[in-house]
Structure 1
């Protein structure tokens, strides 16, 4: 999921830089999205490797991103992008159970290594 999100963020960031769109600006797409895409890809790699902290950090990143989007939109006098916030909420809700799953996978891999090393 994190690789998919990294790709979507990067793609929308590039599109946001190339095309002037109020919809993309309203949800904060641009250079920041490209940078977030790179960070999320790195976190995806570490999640794949079974690091529990990576999906937690990704969730925190998306919480900060959602708060920043709301604050930026309100201070500029615009309307809060409800759909974008709902999407981010779904992502956040999905990432925290992923941390638990990553820890469980890591534990199982360690058990499998321990079993195969026994004579």
Structure 2
């Protein structure tokens, strides 16, 4: 088998990484790829000469004699605003979970060495 210098450099770099670091890097890269693949581009915004004033909807549901609260039009027009919040939240949860697991793993491995 041929000895390719680039492959030997990659093997050497990968051999220096421990399992925990490698798993964290793989999970982060996969998570970012899934988030990028799932995001749709925002809808084109047309320039408006007048400021936006929401118009009340003429038809609202009536339940037991009371009118239901209508959903504002700007909520329906910008339904993808929460993607960044969800991305940040999931990233923070992953940091906490991975950090906790790595500390637990280090404590368990240090107890076994003693």
Same fold (TM over 0.5): no
Which of the two has greater helix per residue?
A: 1
TM-score (norm 2): 0.37
Structure with greater contact order relative to length (CA < 8 Å, sep ≥ 6): 1
Larger Rg: 2
